[in-house]
Amino acid sequence: MATAAAHQTARTHGSAGQEGDIDADDTYQRVFDATVAADERIEPRDWMPDAYRATLVRQIAQHAHSEIIGMQPEANWITRAPSLRRKAILMAKVQDEAGHGLYLYSAAETLGASREDLLDKLHTGRQKYSSIFNYPTLTWADVGAIGWLVDGAAITNQVPLCRCSYGPYARAMVRVCKEESFHQRQGYELLLALSRGTTEQHAMAQDAVDRWWWPSLMMFGPPDDESAHSAQSMAWKIKRHSNDELRRRFVDICVPQAESLGLTLPDPDLKWNEERGHYDFGPIDWTEFKEVLKGNGPCNEQRITQRKAAHDEGAWVRESAAAYAAKHSTRTGVEQA
Amino acid sequence: MTDTDWPLWEVFVRSRRGLSHTHAGSLHAPDAAFALRNARDLYTRRGEGVSLWVVPSSAITASSPDEKDPFFEPAADKPYRHPTFYEIPEGVKHL
Amino acid sequence: MTREAPAPTAAHTADAALALGDDALVLSHRLGELMGHAPVLEEEVALANIALDLLGQARILLSMAGDEDELAYLREERAFRNVQLVEQPNGDFAHTIARQLYFSTYQHLLYDRLAAGRSPFAGLAAKAVKEVAYHRDHAEQWTLRLGDGTETGHERMGRACTALWRFTGELFRPLDGLDLDPADLEPAWLESVGDILGRAGLAVPDGPRTGAWTAGAGREGLHTEPFGWMLAEMQHLHRSHPGATW
Shortest Cα–Cα distance, A239 to chain C (Å): 28
- Kindly report each contact of residues C31-36 with a partner whose C-beta sits within 8 Å and lies 24 or more positions away, as own/partner: C31/C90, C31/C96, C32/A78, C32/A79, C32/A87, C32/A91, C33/A78, C33/A79, C33/C90, C34/C90, C34/C96, C35/A71, C35/A75, C35/A78, C35/A91, C35/A94, C35/A95, C35/A98, C36/A71, C36/A72, C36/A75, C36/A94, C36/A306, C36/A310
The Cβ of residue B20 has, within 10 Å, a number of other Cβ atoms equal to: 7
Mean predicted confidence (pLDDT) in A234-245: 89
In whole numbers, what is the pLDDT of chain A averaged over residues?
Answer: 90
pLDDT, tens digit, for every residue of C4-26?
555 557 889 999 999 999 999 99
- Which residues of chain B approach chain A closer than 8 Å at the C-beta? 1-8, 10, 25-28, 30-34, 36-37, 39-40, 42, 45-46, 51-52, 57-58, 60-62, 64-66
- CB interface of C with A, residues 22-81, below 8 Å: 25, 29, 32-33, 35-45, 48-49, 51-52, 55-56, 58-59, 62, 68-69, 72-73
Q: Pick C158 or B84 by higher pLDDT.
A: C158
**Residue A211: which residues within 8 A CB-CB, separation 6 or more?**
A135, A138, A142, A145
User: Can you give the pLDDT at residue C151?
Assistant: 97
User: Can you give the pLDDT at residue A10?
Assistant: 44
Among A72, A86, A328, the residue with its CB nearest the CB of C36 is A72
Q: Pick C5 or C62 by higher pLDDT.
A: C62
**Which string of DSSP letters, residue by residue, matches A127-173?**
S---GGGGS---SHHHHHHIIIIIHHHHHHHHGGGGG-SBHHHHHHH
- The answer for B64, left when phi > 0, alpha when psi is -120 to 50, beta otherwise, is beta
Q: Are C80 and C231 in contact (CB under 8 A)?
A: yes
Among A82, A313, A317, the residue with its CB nearest the CB of C246 is A82
User: Can you give the pLDDT at residue A283?
Assistant: 95
In the predicted model, is pLDDT for residue A15 greater than 50?
no
User: Can you give the pLDDT at residue B66?
Assistant: 56
In whole numbers, what is the pLDDT of chain C averaged over residues?
Answer: 95
In the predicted model, is pLDDT for residue A245 greater than 80?
yes
Q: C69 and A72 in contact by Cβ < 8 A?
A: no
Q: d(Cα A158, Cα B23) in Å, to the nearest integer?
A: 22
- Averaging pLDDT over each range in A4-13, B68-77, C206-215, which range is the top one? C206-215
Q: d(Cα A325, Cα C148) in Å, to the nearest integer?
A: 10
- The answer for B11, left when phi > 0, alpha when psi is -120 to 50, beta otherwise, is beta
| Residue A137's pLDDT band (cuts 50, 70, 90) | very high
Neighbours of chain A (3+ CB pairs under 8 A): B, C
Q: d(Cα A90, Cα A186) in Å, to the nearest integer?
A: 9
Q: d(Cα C40, Cα A101) in Å, to the nearest integer?
A: 12
Single-letter amino acid code for the residue at A167: G
Q: What is the CA radius of gyration of chain C?
A: 17
Q: d(Cα B43, Cα A99) in Å, to the nearest integer?
A: 8
Its pTM stands at 0.90
User: Can you give the pLDDT at residue A216?
Assistant: 97
From C160, C130, C136, C137, select the one nearest C147 (Cα to Cα). Answer: C160
Q: What is the CA radius of gyration of chain A?
A: 22
pLDDT, tens digit, for every residue of C97-128?
999 999 999 999 999 999 999 999 999 999 99
Q: d(Cα C35, Cα A323) in Å, to the nearest integer?
A: 25
| Residue C212's pLDDT band (cuts 50, 70, 90) | confident
Whether C7 has its CB under 8 Å from any CB of chain B: the answer is no
Single-letter amino acid code for the residue at C67: D
**Residue A306: which residues within 8 A CB-CB, separation 6 or more?**
A72, C36, C37
Shortest Cα–Cα distance, B92 to chain A (Å): 36
User: Can you give the pLDDT at residue A278?
Assistant: 95
User: Can you give the pLDDT at residue A337?
Assistant: 41
**Which of B28, B37, B40, B41 should we substitute to test contact with C (largest number of C Cβ atoms within 10 Å)?**
B41
Q: d(Cα C43, Cα B41) in Å, to the nearest integer?
A: 9
Mean predicted confidence (pLDDT) in B37-55: 90
Q: Are C96 and C51 in contact (CB under 8 A)?
A: no
Q: B31 and A328 in contact by Cβ < 8 A?
A: yes
Among A82, A91, A102, the residue with its CB nearest the CB of C237 is A82
The Cα angle at residue A245 between residues A149 and A100, in degrees rounded to 5: 45
Percentage above 70 pLDDT, chain A: 90
10 Å CB burial of residue C38 (0-12, 13-18, 19+) is: buried
What CATH number has the domain spanning B8-81?
A: 3.10.20.520
Q: A79 and C42 in contact by Cβ < 8 A?
A: no
Judged by DSSP in three states, C208 sits in coil
pLDDT, tens digit, for every residue of A253-296?
999 999 999 999 999 999 999 999 999 999 999 999 999 999 99
Q: d(Cα A12, Cα A31) in Å, to the nearest integer?
A: 17
| Residue A181's pLDDT band (cuts 50, 70, 90) | confident
Single-letter amino acid code for the residue at C225: E
Q: What is the CA radius of gyration of chain B?
A: 20
Q: A106 and B61 in contact by Cβ < 8 A?
A: no
Mean predicted confidence (pLDDT) in A66-72: 97
End-to-end CA distance of chain B: 55
Whether C151 has its CB under 8 Å from any CB of chain B: the answer is no
| Residue A212's pLDDT band (cuts 50, 70, 90) | very high
What is the torsion angle, in degrees rounded to the nearest 10, for the CA atoms of residue A281, residue A287, residue A290 and residue A294?
A: -150
| Residue B71's pLDDT band (cuts 50, 70, 90) | low
User: Can you give the pLDDT at residue B64?
Assistant: 67
Q: How many residue pairs bridge chain A and chain B with CB atoms within 8 Å of each other?
A: 98
> DSSP state, A45?
T
Locate all alpha helices (DSSP H) within chain C, ordered by sequence.
10-33, 41-65, 68-74, 84-87, 93-116, 122-147, 151-165, 186-199, 225-240
User: Can you give the pLDDT at residue A13?
Assistant: 40
Q: How many residue pairs bridge chain A and chain C with CB atoms within 8 Å of each other?
A: 146
* Domains of chain C, CATH where assigned: 10-240 (1.20.1260.10)
Q: d(Cα A210, Cα C222) in Å, to the nearest integer?
A: 45
> DSSP state, B77?
T
| Residue A22's pLDDT band (cuts 50, 70, 90) | low
- CB interface of C with A, residues 129-158, below 8 Å: 144-146, 148-150, 152-154, 156
**Which of C29, C34, C35 should we substitute to test contact with A (largest number of A Cβ atoms within 10 Å)?**
C35
Q: Pick B89 or C43 by higher pLDDT.
A: C43
Q: Pick B48 or C141 by higher pLDDT.
A: C141
Mean predicted confidence (pLDDT) in A148-154: 95
User: Can you give the pLDDT at residue B90?
Assistant: 80
Q: d(Cα B67, Cα B64) in Å, to the nearest integer?
A: 5
Nearest residue of C to residue A306, measured between CA atoms = C37
User: Can you give the pLDDT at residue A221?
Assistant: 92
Q: Are A180 and A146 in contact (CB under 8 A)?
A: no
Percentage above 90 pLDDT, chain B: 40
Q: Are A60 and A107 in contact (CB under 8 A)?
A: yes
User: Can you give the pLDDT at residue C5?
Assistant: 53
Shortest Cα–Cα distance, B28 to chain C (Å): 8
**Which of B34, B57, B63 should we substitute to test contact with A (largest number of A Cβ atoms within 10 Å)?**
B57
Q: C48 and A98 in contact by Cβ < 8 A?
A: yes
| Residue B76's pLDDT band (cuts 50, 70, 90) | low
User: Can you give the pLDDT at residue A263?
Assistant: 97
Q: Sort strands B21-28 and B8-14 into parallel, antiparallel or unpaired.
A: antiparallel
User: Can you give the pLDDT at residue B72?
Assistant: 61
Nearest residue of C to residue A105, measured between CA atoms = C41
Which ipTM did the prediction report? 0.95
Beta bridge partners of B56: B9
Among C42, C45, C141, the residue with its CB nearest the CB of B28 is C42
